[in-house]
Amino acid sequence: MPFLLDRNNFVRIAAVMTIKYLAWMALVLVGVGGCEGSSQPMTESVSPETTTPAVMSDSQTEATVTAPTQLGQLTDLLRSARRIPNSTKWFEIIALPNDVYALWEPGHMEKVNSFLIIGSKKDVLYDTGMGIGSIGQAVSELRLALDRGSVPLMVINSHNHLDHNGGNADFEQAWIIKDEWAIRKLTEGISAGFETYWSELTPYEGVEVPGDFNPATFAIRPFPYEGIRFLQDGDVVDLGNRQFKVLHTVSHSPDGLSLYDETNHVFFGGDTFGGDFFLSRNLELLEQDLARAALLEIDWHYVSHGAQLIQTMREGWRLSIVRRMLDGEREEGTLPFAGNEFPLYTLEGVQVAVAAEFLTY
């Protein structure tokens, strides 16, 4: 029987893999709480300096901000970003450039980010987090404060791992890539019993664990099939004054969904893209996704774990590394745990952990 069918093994492996993933992120991301560093030389070109609207043209206020080209600029931007109170006290809501609001969950080791993206005619909620706190309540309060209560809201899941669709039940509809595995994950939910995983709480100033949250009994509610709507590769999500193209990615999960605003060079990559560490189903699928991302001009890359923004992607360089890995030029290792081992490939600072069964539990 595959080990992923064993609940205890799944939870333990999920915890270990997440810790390794976050440990890597602490080295290469700009941490809102102060972690700094980069796996790339600071002399390497990041992107041409551009000026991008911090608040889009149909919003209440106008401002501009220069797209950061150095890690220190991102550090300053994130540390000085405005925080918006909410009654859940589980989310830290952060006002970011390009009319984007992060709903961050620093109280759990996953450090998940969901994003509210503002448009003139429609808003998008990109992911619904873990479900520990009510993201529906937090988003409702935020949109009321922004005078967006009457504007339609479109909920989109970057993919259907449990840390990204946990709050779907707070909403009537959710848009996903049409995929049998994803539909099953949504409609079945996650039953109670994953105490080891849910117990990985991390104290954070100003954040409170909801009083009714019990790791031993917590479950993610099933989402009704009738509420599921589908997007496909190449679709355009039109918010009025900005449009996002849908990219279907498959290396991290079969239903990966990235959003790209070609006009403003804004990118939401979910868990497929996040730097020099990749948790992927196989190298061939990762090469396929990187080849597409390498063609995009990106000034603003919003990520789904840890710091909300990272330096502009260098996916062309990473693509060349992965292709060399496929040709056999790589250091081979493993990530061992609980009697199982995940292949780990390393070359010039890029690491790829291959965990096909884990990623499609």
Give 64: exposed, middle or buried? Use CB within 10 Å, 0-12, 13-18, 19+.
exposed
pLDDT at residue 146 above 70? yes
Structure-token match 């099939």, residue found: 225
| Residue 153 contacts residue 182 (beta carbons within 8 Å) | no
The per-residue pLDDT for range 270-299, each reduced to its tens digit, is: 999 977 889 999 999 999 999 999 999 999
pLDDT at residue 256 above 80? yes
% of the chain surpassing 70 pLDDT: 80
Give 303: exposed, middle or buried? Use CB within 10 Å, 0-12, 13-18, 19+.
buried
Beta bridge partners of 350: 347
The arithmetic mean of pLDDT across residues 324-337, rounded, is: 91
The three-state (H, E, C) secondary structure of 45-85, written as one string: CCCCCCEEEEECCCCCCCEEEECCCCHHHHHHHHHHCCEEC
The per-residue pLDDT for range 34-83, each reduced to its tens digit, is: 333 333 322 222 232 333 333 333 343 334 466 776 778 888 999 999 99
Rounded to the nearest integer, the mean pLDDT of the chain is 84
The arithmetic mean of pLDDT across residues 120-144, rounded, is: 98
pLDDT value of residue 183: 98
| Residue 93 contacts residue 142 (beta carbons within 8 Å) | yes
Q: What is the DSSP annotation of 229-256?
A: EEE-TT-EEE-SS-EEEEEEE-SS-TTE
Token pair for 156: 């989109």
pLDDT value of residue 341: 85
Q: Which residue has better confidence, 356 or 314?
A: 356
The arithmetic mean of pLDDT across residues 191-208, rounded, is: 95
Token pair for 241: 């004054």
Q: What is the DSSP annotation of 157-211?
A: -S--STTTSTTGGGSS-EEEE--HHHHHHHHH-B-S--HHHHT-B---TT----T
Nearest residue to 267 (alpha-carbon basis) of 242, 232, 285: 242
pLDDT value of residue 154: 99
pLDDT value of residue 117: 99
pLDDT value of residue 75: 85
pLDDT at residue 9 above 50? no
| Residue 17 contacts residue 279 (beta carbons within 8 Å) | yes
pLDDT at residue 18 above 80? no
Contacting residues for 55 by C-beta, under 8 A, at least 6 apart: 61, 62, 63, 99
- In one-letter notation, the amino acid at residue 300 is W
Q: Which residue has better confidence, 102 or 31?
A: 102
pLDDT value of residue 65: 60
Separation between Cα atoms, residue 94 and residue 307, nearest integer Å: 11
Nearest residue to 135 (alpha-carbon basis) of 121, 120, 153: 153
Domains in the chain and their CATH numbers?
3-41+56-359 (3.60.15.10)
pLDDT at residue 28 above 80? no
pLDDT at residue 219 above 90? yes
pLDDT value of residue 313: 66
pLDDT at residue 359 above 60? yes
The per-residue pLDDT for range 178-199, each reduced to its tens digit, is: 999 999 999 999 999 999 999 9
Q: Report helix, strand or coil for 41.
A: coil
| Residue 294 contacts residue 285 (beta carbons within 8 Å) | no
Separation between Cα atoms, residue 293 and residue 249, nearest integer Å: 10
| Residue 154 contacts residue 122 (beta carbons within 8 Å) | yes
| Residue 352 contacts residue 325 (beta carbons within 8 Å) | yes
Q: What is the DSSP letter of 131?
A: S
| Residue 108 contacts residue 210 (beta carbons within 8 Å) | no
pLDDT at residue 21 above 90? no
Element counts in the chain: helices (H) and strands (E): 8, 20
pLDDT value of residue 2: 31
pLDDT value of residue 69: 66
% of the chain surpassing 90 pLDDT: 72
Band (339; pLDDT cuts 50, 70, 90): low
N residues, the chain: 361
Q: What is the DSSP letter of 155?
A: E
Nearest residue to 269 (alpha-carbon basis) of 229, 311, 303, 222: 303
Separation between Cα atoms, residue 91 and residue 105, nearest integer Å: 5
Query: What's the predicted TM-score (pTM) here?
Result: 0.84
